[in-house]
Chain A
Amino acid sequence: MKRTLPALLLLSFSLVAIAAGVEPRAFDRPEQEARYRALIAELRCLVCQNQNLAESDAELARDLRDQTYEMIRAGRSDDEIVEFMVGRYGDFVLYRPPVTVTTALLWFGPAVLVTLGAVLALLYVRRRAGRTTGATLSEDEEKKARALLSGKAVDP
C-alpha cells in the first residue's frame, strides 16, 4: 500500500497530462506563453462545460485555443482577448464571471449559506447546553455511585 499509493497518484497525473489536448506552441517571448497558459486555464469550454480550454479535447476548445494563440501573437492584450470571447459566448466562458445582479447568488450564495449554518448550529448548541444542567442524584443514588467508583461491591 505504501508503494502503490504514490504510483497511483503518478498514474492519475499522467492521465491528466494525456487528456489535456494542449498543442505545442511557439512564442516569441516566454511572457506570451505564460499569458497563453493563464488565459486557456481561465476560459471555459462551452461543449464540455466543466473543463477549461486547456483541459478540454473538444474540437471547439481546440479552435478557441488557436484563436487565443493567434490573438496573443498579434499583440492583443488579455482584456481584448477576454472581451472577444465574452462578446461571442457570453459571461459563461469565464470561470470567474463579473459580479452582476444575476451572478450575485453565485458569488455570495455559499458565504451566506455557511454563515446561516453557523448561526443555526450555534443557536442549537446553546439551547442544548442549557437543557442538560438540571440532572441530579438522590442521596441514596449518590452513595451507590461513590461505592461503584471506589471499586467496592454493594448490595443492590
Chain B
Amino acid sequence: MGRYVALGLFLILLIFLGYGLTLNPREVPSPLIGKPAPAFRLPTVADPAKSMGTDDFAGKVTLLNVWASWCVSCRQEHPLLVELARKGSVQVYGLNYKDTRQDARRWLASFGDPYVASAFDEDGRVGIEWGVYGVPETFVIDRKGVIRHKLTGPVTPENWAKTLQPLIQRLQTAD
C-alpha cells in the first residue's frame, strides 16, 4: 500500500519535472500585453535629423522588432523579416537597441533593411519602457496601438506560421 503511495507521488513529481522541461525559463510573460504601446519618439538610425515614433504606426497592424548589430540571434531571424517586408505581409518597424549608428547602418547594408524605419535607442531608455530584456524581441501592435503579443527570441518560420501570422491576419481583418 505504502509502496503505491510512494510510486504515485514519484509519478506526480515526474509529471511536474517533465512539464518543466518543456518551458522556456527565459520567456518572462510581459505585463504590457493588452496595454497601449508605451509612446516614444526617437531619431532614426538612418538620419539623426529624422525621427520615428509610435505615432507612425497609426491605424496599421505593426511589428516592432527590437534589434542590435551585436545581437547574434538577430542575424538568424533577419532574412525572414526581410522576406516579410518584401511580401508586404505586415509593416515592420525597428527599435535599434544599445548600438552605435555606424554599426547599425553597416549591419543593415550587409543584411538588408526590412524596416520602414528604425528608432535609435542608444541608451536603452525606450527599451526599458517596453520591458526589453533580451534582444531580439518582437511586439505585435494592433491598429488601435495596443500591444497584442510579445516574442522573446528570434522570429522563426515555425513561430511565424503558428503564432504571429494567424494573429496578424486576425488583427488586420478585425476593426
Chains A and B form a bound pair: yes
Closest CB-CB distance, A44 to chain B, in whole Å? 10
Across the interface, which residues of B come within 8 angstroms of A87, CB to CB? Answer: 31
Task: Spot the interface stretch: A10-18, A20-28, A58-66, A139-147.
Answer: A58-66
Q: Is the interface of A mostly helix, strand, loop or mixed?
A: helix
Give Cα A60 to B28, complex, Å: 15
The interface stretch among B46-54, B126-134, B157-165 is B126-134
Given known A87-B31, A89-B28, contact A124–B133 (CB-CB < 8 A): no
Please, how many angstroms separate the alpha-carbon atoms of A92 and B98 in the complex? 23
Q: Report B150 CB to chain A, min CB distance, Å.
A: 11
- B29 located at the interface, meaning its Cβ lies under 8 Å from any Cβ of chain A in the complex: yes
Q: Is B124 an interface residue (CB 8 A)?
A: yes
Asked whether B133 lies within 8 Å of A60 as measured between CB atoms, the reply is yes
Q: Are A89 and B131 in contact (CB under 8 A)?
A: yes
* Contact of A88 with B98 in the complex, beta carbons under 8 Å: no
Q: Which of B97-126 contact A (CB under 8 A)?
A: 98, 123-124
B131 pairs with A92, CB closer than 8 A: no
Count of chain A residues with a beta carbon within 8 Å of a chain B beta carbon: 17
Q: Which of A46, A63, A64, A120 contacts B28 (CB 8 A)?
A: A46
Contact A90 B128 (CB under 8 A): no
| Chain A positions within 8 Å of B130 at CB level | 88
Interface residues on B, range: 10 to 19
CA distance A64 to B26 in the complex (A): 18
One digit per residue, 1 when the CB lies within 8 angstroms of any chain B CB and 0 when it does not, for chain A 55-99 equals 000011001100100000000000000000011111110000000
Determine which of B25, B31, B128 lies in contact with A63 in the assembled complex, contact meaning CB atoms within 8 Å.
B128
* A112 interface residue (CB < 8 Å to B): no
Closest to A66 in B: B123
Tell me whether A89 and B134 are in contact in the complex, defined as CB-CB below 8 angstroms, given that A59-B98, A64-B128, A67-B128 are known contacts: no
Residue A106 CB within 8 A of the other chain? no
On chain A, the residues within 8 Å of B26 by CB distance are 49
Which residues of chain A are within 8 angstroms of B2 by Cβ–Cβ distance? 124
Q: Which of B25, B26, B128, B130 has the most chain A CB atoms closer than 10 A to its own CB?
A: B128
Q: Beyond A86-B31, A90-B30: 8 further Cβ-contacts under 8 Å? A: A46-B134, A60-B133, A64-B128, A67-B128, A88-B129, A88-B130, A89-B28, A89-B131
Interface residues of B (CB under 8 A from A): 2, 5, 25-26, 28-32, 98, 123-124, 127-131, 133-134
